[in-house]
Amino acid sequence: HSVRHGVGSDARIGTRFLYAGPGYGGSCFPKDVTALVHTGRDNDVELDLAVATDRVNQRQKGVLVRKLRKKLGGDLRGRKIAVWGIAFKPKTDDIRESPALTLIDAVLADGGIIAAHDPIAADNARNLYNDKSNISIVDDEYDAAKDADALVLVTEWRPYQSPDFEKLKEVMKQPYIVDGRNIWSTYHLKQLGFDYEGIGVIGK
């Protein structure tokens, strides 16, 4: 947060797009960055900044599952992970290149179990994973969290801004939260009995 405010204090940059998170997605920007890199190489120009942007984003998309593995003993086999938010950003049903897909695929590959919720993009996720086992896309976010070993917030939908944390603690198997958007970093969740991790922040 301090870096964001420091860099964003320059009016030429601003703070609007400097939020920490699990990487960018969507149908346009990732494709455009890749196309820019290929265009440069076709013309014998190595666009180092664009190459680094793509490389860093791919690494950042794995930050959520890395946190889960570290906290849960390195093995997600049989672990239930609740995912809140599947769309690559709020107010869309577009799940293309979403960081949530990277997380879901990694958990499933590890033998884990996914229960996910999204206010709008649920049907697209169901269509994508209709042939996969160990994953359910549910209609209620608290149903997703039931008996979960961890809750991971990926998309900062408004309905997720102020959940019923007491209810969450009751339904979860263990009260471990990974906040991929830092929307709960000031909510004093540790005082409420949660084990909380954000992205580059220490929760209160």
Q: Whole-angstrom Cα distance, residue 118 to residue 43?
A: 42
Long-range contacts made by residues 163-169, C-beta under 8 angstroms, separation at least 24?
Answer: 165/189, 165/192, 165/194, 166/192, 167/142, 168/142, 169/193, 169/194
Active-site choice (7, 28, 35, 109): 28
Active-site annotation holds for 28: yes
Q: What are phi and psi of 112, to 5 degrees?
A: -85, 175
Q: Whole-angstrom Cα distance, residue 167 to residue 179?
A: 17
Q: Assign residue 24 a region: left if phi > 0, alpha if psi is -120 to 50, beta otherwise?
A: beta
The structure tokens 């420091």 sit at 6
For residue 27, the one-letter residue type is S
Non-local (6+) Cβ contacts of 47 within 8 A are 36, 37, 40
> Which residues have a catalytic role annotated?
28
